[in-house]
Structure 1
Amino acid sequence: MFRILALLASMVLLAACEETQLNEAKEDLGDFNMRVSFVYTDKALQWPLSRAAEPSEWNEPIERALEARLGRYSGSGKYDVAITLEGFLLATGGIPVLVNPKSAAVVNVFVYDVTTKTYLLKEHQMKIFEDTTGESAIIGSGYSRTKAEQIDGLALKIVDGLEEYMAKQRVEKGWFGGDSAAEENTDTVAVPDQVEATPDTAPVAE
């Protein structure tokens, strides 16, 4: 049994992904310059089996990640960015190696072009899972990370995922200085209505 567990542990360590870093290289975001950002968390659902956390605990980490990642672009365009937290699960302890729950979050994201007064992205849903490191792969993040560390990691992953998605859309659809037309919308600000989180919103297994 010990040999089997040791083999499983070594396989999990090899499969563990590299942790997302705060200061990763910039993406190609053309003329992107974040004028202002909005974070809404008050209607977020805490899913069953999650560590207890107040939705408000997510505000500062997401705002910090937005400023660190998207606030570093200084293009000639002006864009507003909004993130609404819909639901979350902060993993508790599992069974080392065999059952390691993962923290997860679901968000809706918005990107608004101030110049053209159109939404490039409106209520686009993203499902985010925390990074797996060597330690959390073996004993689970419920044992290896505090609640604050889990929230910080997911907040960074949310913004990292949005940044990468924006870069992909620049290539595919001409965002941020490209030729493709944005979604037609006559609203003048990027503040989204706070959408009711639906009870059946839950993370999808990897």
Structure 2
Amino acid sequence: MIRSSRRLLLLASLVALAACAGKTPLSEEPVEPMGEFRLVHNIVTVNNIQKVQPSRDVPPQEWDDAVTEAIQARLGRYEGSQMYHLGVNILGYSVAVPGVPVLLAPKSVVVVEASVWDDAKGGKINEKPRRFTVFESASPDLFIGSGLTKTKDEQVANLAANVALQVEKWLRENEEWFAKRPDGTAAPRQQAAAAP
């Protein structure tokens, strides 16, 4: 039994080292243009957020701040010539509490809906909001439960970063939304102020 526990601990440590070694900071990742996309307003709403038990308590404003910051960091890097707005509504979450390792290691999850607005057309691009169920990043913590290994703030930041990543992937899947307009009506760069 002790030998098995040591092997599991060694395996978890090796996976942790491998995960840390291969991670590049977002600010250093190359940015491939996404058509003429440029984020202007980044609006996160938490009016109807629900906590699903078991979960650590996360005040709505903390979700708002974390997701707004993560989306701005990821999508604010694009410098296209057309202005777009993004709305993300956080519907519910469960942030893992400490559990019994391996057997009852709960996973953190957040559910959001996203919509994109075209500034020039003055309307929403996607008719229905796109719903995402976003889990925490794969890491050795998932094996023993991030409730034991991470603070609440770290868990929320991880989920917020994954929300931003999933939204970015969705936008890339629909890159035709951001194609250069035939009439060439691109907004002057100085008009596009990043959301606070």
TM-score normalized by structure 2? Answer: 0.78
Task: Note the residue ranges of structure 2 that are not aligned, 5 or more in a row.
Answer: 182-196
Does residue 1:127 correspond to 2:127, yes or no? no
Match of 1:87 among 92, 98, 101: 92
Q: Please give the alpha-carbon distance, in whole angstroms, between the structure 1 residues aligned to 2:164 and 2:50.
A: 19
- Stretch of structure 1 that moved more, 69-78 or 94-103: 94-103
Q: How much is the aligned-residue C-alpha RMSD, in angstroms? A: 2.5
Partner of 1:22: 26
Please report how far the alpha carbon of residue 102 of structure 1 lies from its aligned counterpart in structure 2 after TM superposition. Answer: 1.1
CA–CA distance in structure 1, aligned partners of residues 31 and 121 of structure 2:
25
The amino acid that maps onto 2:4 is I
Match of 2:4 in 1: 4
Show the counterpart of 1:168: 173
Letter in 2 for 1:65: A
Structure whose residues are more often helix by fraction: 2
SS at match of 2:26: coil
Query: How far 1:72 moved relative to its partner?
Result: 1.4
Q: 1:72 and 1:139 mapped to 2: Cα distance?
A: 35
CA deviation map 1:14-33 (0-9, x unaligned): 77795795334434411001
| Distance (Å, rounded) in 1 between the aligned partners of 2:33 and 2:99 | 40
Compared with structure 1, are the counterparts of its residues 21 and 86 closer, same or farther at alpha carbon in structure 2 (3 Å cutoff)? Answer: farther
Once the two structures are TM-superposed, the CA of residue 74 in structure 1 deviates from its matched residue by 1.2
Alignment partner of 2:164: what SS? helix
Deviation track 1:62-112 (CA, whole Å, cap 9, x = no partner) reads 111121111111101110101000000000112223332111000000111
d(CA) in 2 for partners of 1:123 and 1:153?
A: 23
The structural deviation recorded for 1:178 is 6.5
- 1:159-198 equivalence runs, <5 A: 159-170=164-175, 174-177=176-179
Partner residue of 1:75 out of 80, 83, 86: 80
The whole-number CA distance in structure 2 between the counterparts of 1:41 and 1:97 is 32
Q: What is the CA deviation profile of residues 102-140 of structure 1, one whole-angstrom value per residue up to 9, with x for unaligned ones?
A: 110000001111122342234110000011323x13431
Asked whether the equivalents of residues 107 and 136 of structure 2 are also in contact (C-alpha less than 8 Å), the reply is: yes
Structure 1, gaps ≥5 residues long: 180-206
1:11 shift after superposition: 5.8
Equivalent pairs counted in the alignment come to 175
CA distance in 2, matches of 1:92, 1:168: 34
Larger radius of gyration: 2
* Matching of residues 193-204 of structure 1 within 5 Å: none
Normalised by the size of structure 1, how large is the TM-score? 0.75
Contact 2:37 2:84 in 1 (8 A): yes
Cα gap change, 1:164 to 1:28, in 2 (>3 Å):
farther
Report the identity percentage: 32
Equivalent residues of 1:13, 1:138 under 8 A apart: no
Q: Which amino acid aligns with 1:165?
A: W
Asked if the contact 2:107/2:142 (under 8 Å) is kept, the reply is: no
